[in-house]
A and B are shown apart, each in its own frame.
Chain A
Amino acid sequence: MENTEKQHLELITEIIHTARKSFSDNGTVYLLWGWAVSIASLVQFIMIKINMLHSGMVWAVLMPIAGISQFFILGRQKRDKKVKTLVGKILGSLWMAFGVSMCIVIFYAFTGKMEICVLPMILMLYGIGTFVSGVAMEVKPMVVGAIICWGISVLCYFVNNEYQLLLLAIAVIFAYLIPGYTLRTRYHKNV
């Protein structure tokens, strides 16, 4: 009889452990934004260096494309999802809060009232999003990426606007691209 009770305790532990792994992100959204932001910042940097006009247009083109793609990717992920977890719910609201905060920063950037510190502010927000996500999903490269974002955000103080773009590309490689590929590898191992 006691064996049954022991087995039941083991069963509970095993099932809870399995369910904890149920939150699995395949990293697609991180890779999407990682590539979009790093390409946009590098292209704008090059355009500024060769004295091309309207260098900011690269953002106006790439960001809406990334935004629309994300909308479809998330829609498909929601359709295929068989389980809802608390971690998923919290991270969903975190990134929604991130999106709202980004819109506020971009609004101020357009009004020209905080031109100098737009990128440091954006990097600070990247840091918050990736730090919490990295801790919640137990993805160390993401936590490291967040710390790099904050470090680079401070470093921006010492460089001018065009070199801040290069720093942004580096930050995004560490905060989105490397963790994105880590998540993708982990996802394919678990499936």
Chain B
Amino acid sequence: MFKELDPILHSQLRLAVVSLLISVEEAEFTYIKEKTQATSGNLSVQLDKLKQAGYIEVQKSFKNNYPLTVCKITKQGIDAFDKYVSDLKAYLNPK
């Protein structure tokens, strides 16, 4: 019997964002956009979903008079990512 994969992470862009944030301390919106090659609109929607799930923290401020969005993974996000990776492995290599 396969474990159900986390639907929040089972989306290409949200998974890419979480994988990126798990490897760094924190990242600006522009950096995530550049690395995931997503559009601003789509990325904003997906970041919002991850934030609502409690997987990431989003801080909005200003830098040189421009809006600045900084994202950081939460403990809950790290745990969900770990579980997602082990579930994926179990899915691909069933015993």
Contact of A84 among B25, B35, B85, B89 (CB under 8 A): B25
* Interface size class, chain A: 20 to 34
The answer to the question of B48 belonging to the interface, with a C-beta cut-off of 8 Å to chain A, is: no
B-side contacts of A8, CB under 8 Å: 10, 12, 15, 88
Contact of B24 among A2, A11, A79, A85 (CB under 8 A): A85
B20 near A84 (CB under 8 angstroms)?
Answer: no
Give 10 A-B pairs besides A9-B92, A19-B24, A84-B24 with Cβ atoms closer than 8 angstroms.
A8-B12, A15-B19, A15-B35, A16-B22, A16-B23, A18-B20, A83-B28, A83-B31, A84-B26, A84-B27
B23 near A15 (CB under 8 angstroms)?
Answer: yes
| A–B complex contacts, Cβ < 8 Å, 24 sampled | A2-B92, A5-B5, A5-B88, A5-B91, A5-B92, A9-B89, A11-B15, A12-B19, A15-B16, A16-B19, A16-B22, A16-B23, A22-B23, A22-B31, A79-B63, A82-B28, A82-B31, A83-B25, A83-B27, A84-B25, A84-B26, A85-B23, A85-B25, A89-B25
The answer to the question of B42 belonging to the interface, with a C-beta cut-off of 8 Å to chain A, is: no
The answer to the question of A76 belonging to the interface, with a C-beta cut-off of 8 Å to chain B, is: no
B27 near A11 (CB under 8 angstroms)?
Answer: no
Among all A-B residue pairs, the 9 with the closest Cβ atoms: A19-B23, A82-B31, A15-B19, A84-B25, A82-B28, A83-B27, A12-B19, A83-B31, A84-B26
Give the interface of B toward A (CB within 8 A): 5, 10, 12, 15-16, 19-20, 22-28, 30-31, 35-36, 63-64, 85, 88-89, 91-92
B-side contacts of A84, CB under 8 Å: 24-27
A-side contacts of B24, CB under 8 Å: 19, 22, 83-86
Q: How far is the CB of B69 from chain A (nearest CB, A)?
A: 11
Q: How far is the CA of A16 from the CA of B12 in the complex (A)?
A: 14
A-side contacts of B15, CB under 8 Å: 8, 11-12
The answer to the question of A140 belonging to the interface, with a C-beta cut-off of 8 Å to chain B, is: no
The answer to the question of A6 belonging to the interface, with a C-beta cut-off of 8 Å to chain B, is: yes
A-side contacts of B22, CB under 8 Å: 16
Among A11, A19, A82, A85, residue most surrounded by chain B Cβ atoms (within 10 Å): A82
B92 near A6 (CB under 8 angstroms)?
Answer: yes
A-side contacts of B91, CB under 8 Å: 2, 5
Q: Chain B: which residue is nearest A2 at the CB level?
A: B92
Q: Chain B: which residue is nearest A9 at the CB level?
A: B88
Q: Chain A: which residue is nearest B28 at the CB level?
A: A82
B20 near A15 (CB under 8 angstroms)?
Answer: yes
Q: How far is the CA of A39 from the CA of B28 in the complex (A)?
A: 39
Q: How far is the CB of A85 from chain B (nearest CB, A)?
A: 5
